[in-house]
Amino acid sequence: MYGFEALTFNIHGGYLEAIVRGHRAGLLTTADYNNLCQCENLDDIKMHLSATKYGSYLQNEPSPLHTTTIVEKCTLKLVDDYKHMLCQATEPMSTFLEYIRYGHMIDNVVLIVTGTLHERDVQELLEKCHPLGMFDSIATLAVAQNMRELYRLVLVDTPLAPYFSECLTSEDLDDMNIEIMRNTLYKAYLEDFYKFCQKIGGATSEIMSDLLAFEADRRAVNITINSIGTELTREDRKKLYSNFGLLYPYGHEELAICEDIDQVRGVMEKYPPYQAIFSKMSYGESQMLDKAFYEEEVRRLCLAFEQQFHYAVFFAYMRLREQEIRNLMWISECVAQNQKSRIHDSVVYMF
């Protein structure tokens, strides 16, 4: 399984791995979050962040600040870091880094399409898109009326094109369709990414398989929970699950026939890694599930840093940064809306 990565990895990947590990040291720690949670207003948050890597991105923002500004600037920093790494990368790492973006691309496509369906302004929608998932002709998505057009007009030029092969229908777009499209795309994306990582081999494939399997299983659970009580048939539901992961294939059979959250729980508790997540929750509750999954994900991502000479650190780092920005957004919102008692509800600590 292990090749001699240690021997040759540093030729192309050494510099970037050093960079990403340096970046990792800049992630906000529990102490930082504790301090941030004590902030009285957004200016306090800015002041605290001025001592971190976000400092230079926030320092020229006039007060009063808004939560969106903070999130926007932090995301900008993430994108700048990502672009810096991307332009230093060589094959196959550059492809690997590109893969990290595709998830955001899918989200952006869905966002724009849903937005146009509800007749929102395209510019407004574009601002809401995640900058990592931007591609040239994204604004043109608004023109499309159905999936086939969507594919033929715009997406055929993007890396997402191959993922579309499974959801080419001439039906007009509606909310349900779009959601199915998102999940089908995601399924195709995860499977493709999984295959790519297997191709790279070595520690990368080993660690990424674990991370992606977790991602796939989480999506499967979410799809199941969200589709309870909708007209999605069992067969259709099962089609949306990715064909790998811990739950594949027997877990999928069982998930497909679940009718309420407790049944999902029953299925999941058969799998030891997920047992811990579900055992934290009381019966019938699904609110805390997201946080529990996030915490588990962060724990796994942090473990990726324990090994050297593999690409999974880049994936882990990007994911952790996204989680960090989510945390900052939550804290800022709580502070801005004077809901400090709820501040700990959704913050996931790392390291």
- Which position among 8, 90, 137, 279 is part of the footprint of another protein (CB under 8 A)? 137
Residue 63 makes contact with another protein by CB under 8 A: yes
Beta-carbon contacts of 93 under 8 Å, excluding residues fewer than 6 positions away, are: 12, 13, 16, 311, 314
Nearer to another protein, 44 or 192 (CB): 44
Residue 60 makes contact with another protein by CB under 8 A: yes
Stretch that binds another protein, among 79-87, 150-158, 218-226, 289-297 (CB under 8 A): 150-158
Residue 154 makes contact with another protein by CB under 8 A: yes
Residue 29 makes contact with another protein by CB under 8 A: no
Residue 246 makes contact with another protein by CB under 8 A: no
Nearest approach in angstroms of CB 41 to another protein is 9
Residue whose entry in the numeric block shows the structure tokens 């790494």: 85
Beta-carbon contacts of 95 under 8 Å, excluding residues fewer than 6 positions away, are: 196
Nearest approach in angstroms of CB 24 to another protein is 23
Stretch that binds another protein, among 31-39, 203-211, 249-257, 316-324 (CB under 8 A): 31-39
Q: How many residues bind another protein (CB under 8 A)?
A: 27
Contact 15, 89 (CB under 8 A): no
**Cis peptide before 159, with omega less than 30 degrees from 0?**
no
Residue 338 makes contact with another protein by CB under 8 A: no
Which residues in 273-302 contact another protein (CB under 8 A)? none
What are the Cα distances from residue 148, in Å, to 79, 165, 294, 311?
A: 31, 10, 35, 35
Residue 136 makes contact with another protein by CB under 8 A: yes
What are the Cα distances from residue 151, in Å, to 98, 113, 125, 147, 221?
A: 20, 12, 20, 6, 28
Residue 122 makes contact with another protein by CB under 8 A: yes
Angle between helices 312-336 and 14-25 (to 10 degrees): 20
The secondary structure of 264-279 as a DSSP string is: HHHHHTTSHHHHHHHH
Nearest to 289 by CA among 340, 339, 220: 220
Nearest approach in angstroms of CB 255 to another protein is 39
The secondary structure of 304-322 as a DSSP string is: HTTS-SSTHHHHHHHHHHH
Nearest approach in angstroms of CB 148 to another protein is 12
Nearest approach in angstroms of CB 339 to another protein is 19
Stretch that binds another protein, among 48-56, 189-197, 267-275, 287-295 (CB under 8 A): 48-56
Residue 124 makes contact with another protein by CB under 8 A: no
3-state secondary structure string across 147-176? HHHHHHHCHHHCCCHHHHHHHCCCCECCHH
Burial class (CB in 10 A: 0-12, 13-18, 19+), 49: buried
- Which position among 8, 30, 59, 165 is part of the footprint of another protein (CB under 8 A)? 59
Residue 51 makes contact with another protein by CB under 8 A: yes
Residue 76 makes contact with another protein by CB under 8 A: no
Residue 153 makes contact with another protein by CB under 8 A: yes
Q: Any idea what DSSP says for residue 61?
A: P
Residues forming contacts to another protein in the complex (CB under 8 A) are 35, 38-40, 43-44, 47-48, 50-51, 59-63, 122, 136-137, 139-143, 152-154, 157
